Amino acid sequence: MSATTRSSRSSRRGAGGSGSEPSVPRRVTSRVELPTWKAPFRTITERKTAEEGLRLSAAVFESTSEGVVITDTTPSIIAVNPAFTEINGYRPEEVMGRNPSLLKSGRHEQPFYEAMWRALLDRGHWRGEVWNRRKDGEIYPQWVNINAVRSELGKTTHYVGVFSDLSDIKRSEAQIERLAHRDPLTDLPNRLLFRTRLEQALLRASTSRARVGMLLVDLDGFRHINDSLGHAVGDIALREVAKRLSDLVRIDDTVARLSGDELALLIEGDEDIDTRAALMAERVRESLNKPFMVKTAELFMSASIGIAVYPEDGTNVSELMQNCDAALYQAREAGGNTYRHYARALTDYARERVTLTSELNRAIERDELRLHYQPLVDTGTSRVTGLEVLVRWQHPERGMVLPDSFIRLAEETGLIIPLGAWVLRRACLQAREWEAAGIPFGRIAVNVSGVQIQRSDFARTLESILHETGLGAERLELELTETFVMDLREDAQRLLCDLKHLGISLAMDDFGTSYSSLAYLKGLPFDTLKIDRSFIVGLPDDPASAAIVTAITTLGNSLGFDVLAEGVETEAQRRFLLGVGCHRAQGYLFSPAVPPEAVVRLLS
């Protein structure tokens, strides 16, 4: 080995470190700096991202359900999306380069558009509701958002408008509004809208010193149409009534349906409103009196009408409606098919009714009611055959109140049900007491209101009272009015038989005052016919009264009824009744109604 070679190895070992072991050769690599390519990669990525964003924007522009229109600052349309065409009807080529004002409907004044442009120039955006016109000419509502597009230097370069069609929403709102303010059956204004219009009319009248008239129209006996022909026929009749009334009024007057079969008319004017309201009431009556053809049925209708006038009869909505209702009540009380003007006395009467109702309700609780008894006698022997029960009200301030003053009120308010049950129970207890004492009173006769029978399970109530008091059913007679029995129609047989099965007697009160016939009555389980006092008062000198009483008595006896005359006050009347075969009577000739303690003396 050469020296040179050894020297070279030694120097490599020295470089290795220890010099005792051969070292492993180290790989030496040189570091080369490569050029940076990041800038081109970033440019491509940004471009790809931008392209993706543009594709998404284009997709949104093309597929959104809202219309989009882009204009320059002229403004001229430079782009629209398919929804724009679908909503407005214009194809893109028909609007390109044109001003968006081609969509104007004409509903907005120039200040509206001036305010829109001020907002766009000052704030760069505007939004609101606009009525525009489609290509076919239809005017419709839009909700519009317009925004200005600005360059990097802040200069406006374009405007973008995005709009949606509000037609469906407006239709829904109109439907909701109609349901809230219109009667769904007749399409007339309902009570809420009528009150609003009346309030507006009164406000106008207060500033112009004009007058306002109001009419309340209530159809007489309309429930009979529903009960007999069904509610479908009743609805058709109501729609026809609404049409007839609407045909009578001026375009600026109002016809409304307040509830059920109650309608209202509102009239305004400077002329004599009192006369005009009265003429309108007459026209309403004449219109309704013409027959209604509903399917195959011919209906005849009438109405009760109340009239009130501002400002004499009320200075606000509530007062005018209340007083008009009071007038309507008077028209009903007069028998219907008529009208009444409001008078201050009607308010006093209505207030009295409210007070009396409240006091009557407490009268039952405070034991202020009293029973009196009027004898039913044999016209030949004057022997007492029974006692009719009559209720009195011992009012702490008014004194003794007769039934004519509160029975009708009790029927209208429903108080007749507890009142009637109280009378029946107290009468049965009294009769049981007389029976136990051996007092020969015959039968007790208790008047029963039709309301008691219709609004409660009267047969069960009666059975319970008889069981509770221990009075035999043969000791009790119930009196029902002829009018009520005729109103029952086909239900009369069933209801009356339910009562007869309990063992009581039945009497028809006020016979001859309604439209029934003896041929109809022979199928009903009555025992007694009571001839109304209006036919007795003229006896024996009035030929018509004499003929009616003779006919009723003769036919009643031949059909097996006991016939009893009410209101007998003279001896001549008694002799006439006895002569035509009427063997029972009651009246002041024999005795007025007396309290229980006087009955014993009367019978003895």
Helix 191-208 with 317-333: angle, nearest 10 deg: 110
Is the pLDDT at 74 greater than 50? The verdict is yes
Q: Which two tokens stand for residue 334?
A: 């007069």
What pLDDT score was predicted for residue 562? Answer: 93
For 161-199, what is the HEC assignment?
Answer: EEEEECHHHHHHHHHHHHHHHECCCCCCECHHHHHHHHH
Distance CA(112)–CA(130), nearest Å, equals: 10
Query: Where is pLDDT greater, at 27 or 322?
Result: 322
Mean pLDDT of all residues in 478-483: 87
pLDDT band at 12 (very low <50, low <70, confident <90, very high): very low
Counting Cβ atoms within 10 Å, is residue 339 exposed (0-12), middle (13-18) or buried (19+)?
buried
CA-angle at 38, arms to 36 and 41, nearest 5°:
135
What pLDDT score was predicted for residue 57? Answer: 67
CB 329 within 8 A of CB 323: no
DSSP readout, 547-594? HHHHHHHHHHHHTT-EEEES---SHHHHHHHHHTT--EE-STTT---B
pLDDT band at 53 (very low <50, low <70, confident <90, very high): low
What pLDDT score was predicted for residue 520? Answer: 67
pLDDT band at 362 (very low <50, low <70, confident <90, very high): confident
Mean pLDDT of all residues in 310-339: 91
What pLDDT score was predicted for residue 2? Answer: 41
Question: What tens digit of pLDDT does each residue of 405-417 get?
Answer: 888 888 888 888 8
Name the pTM for this structure.
Answer: 0.53
Core vs surface per residue 110-128: b (16+ CB within 10 A) or e: eeeeeebeeebeeeeebee
- Residue 86: CB partners within 8 Å, gap ≥ 6? 67
- Across all residues in the chain, what is the average pLDDT? 85
CB 391 within 8 A of CB 410: no
* HSE-up of residue 533 (Cα within 13 Å, Cβ side): 8
CB 197 within 8 A of CB 254: yes
Q: Position of tokens 């009807």?
A: 89
SS3 221: coil
Question: What tens digit of pLDDT does each residue of 109-154 get?
Answer: 999 999 999 999 999 999 999 999 999 999 999 999 999 999 888 8
Is the pLDDT at 320 greater than 50? The verdict is yes
Distance CA(509)–CA(192), nearest Å, equals: 44
Alpha helices in 64-186 (DSSP H): 82-88, 92-95, 110-123, 167-181
What pLDDT score was predicted for residue 186? Answer: 93
CB 340 within 8 A of CB 327: yes
Mean pLDDT of all residues in 77-97: 93
CA nearest neighbour of 262 among 361, 188, 343, 152: 188
pLDDT band at 29 (very low <50, low <70, confident <90, very high): very low
Residue 239 has a CB neighbour count (10 Å cut-off) of 16
Distance CA(71)–CA(80), nearest Å, equals: 9
Mean pLDDT of all residues in 278-285: 92
Query: Where is pLDDT greater, at 49 or 431?
Result: 431
Query: Where is pLDDT greater, at 292 or 475?
Result: 475
Mean pLDDT of all residues in 2-30: 41
What pLDDT score was predicted for residue 1? Answer: 39
Phi and psi of 561, rounded to 5°?
-90, 145
Q: Which residues pair with 147 in a beta bridge?
A: 125, 160
pLDDT band at 21 (very low <50, low <70, confident <90, very high): very low
What pLDDT score was predicted for residue 61? Answer: 76
Distance CA(481)–CA(420), nearest Å, equals: 15
Helix 571-579 with 543-558: angle, nearest 10 deg: 40
Counting Cβ atoms within 10 Å, is residue 6 exposed (0-12), middle (13-18) or buried (19+)?
exposed
Is the pLDDT at 401 greater than 90? The verdict is no
Mean pLDDT of all residues in 213-218: 96
Stretch among 36-45, 117-126, 245-254, 371-380 having the lowest mean pLDDT: 36-45
Stretch among 103-107, 113-117, 238-242, 454-458 having the lowest mean pLDDT: 454-458
Percent of the chain with pLDDT over 90: 55
What pLDDT score was predicted for residue 347? Answer: 65
Largest Cα–Cα distance in the chain?
186
> Of all residues in the chain, what percent are helix, strand and coil, respectively (each to 5)?
50, 25, 30
What pLDDT score was predicted for residue 300? Answer: 85
Distance CA(462)–CA(469), nearest Å, equals: 11
Is the pLDDT at 498 greater than 90? The verdict is no
Distance CA(195)–CA(397), nearest Å, equals: 40
| CA distances for 436 relative to 61, 79, 433, 441, 472, angstroms | 101, 107, 5, 11, 12
Question: What tens digit of pLDDT does each residue of 501-526 get?
Answer: 999 999 988 887 765 555 667 778 89
Distance CA(555)–CA(578), nearest Å, equals: 15
Percent of the chain with pLDDT over 70: 88
For 375-408, what is the HEC assignment?
Answer: EEEECCCCCEEEEEEEEEEEECCCEEECHHHCHH
Mean pLDDT of all residues in 330-349: 82
Is the pLDDT at 48 greater than 60? The verdict is yes
CA nearest neighbour of 363 among 419, 409, 412: 419
Stretch among 283-297, 308-322, 350-364 having the lowest mean pLDDT: 350-364
pLDDT band at 8 (very low <50, low <70, confident <90, very high): very low
Distance CA(256)–CA(188), nearest Å, equals: 5
Q: Position of tokens 């009319």?
A: 201
What pLDDT score was predicted for residue 275? Answer: 87
Distance CA(23)–CA(17), nearest Å, equals: 8
Is the pLDDT at 567 greater than 80? The verdict is yes
Q: Position of tokens 């470089």?
A: 15
Distance CA(135)–CA(221), nearest Å, equals: 55
Question: What tens digit of pLDDT does each residue of 530-566 get?
Answer: 999 999 999 999 999 999 999 999 988 988 899 999 9
Query: Where is pLDDT greater, at 205 or 18?
Result: 205
What pLDDT score was predicted for residue 263? Answer: 96
What pLDDT score was predicted for residue 321? Answer: 94
CB 592 within 8 A of CB 374: yes
Mean pLDDT of all residues in 579-584: 95
CA nearest neighbour of 329 among 191, 415, 194, 218: 218
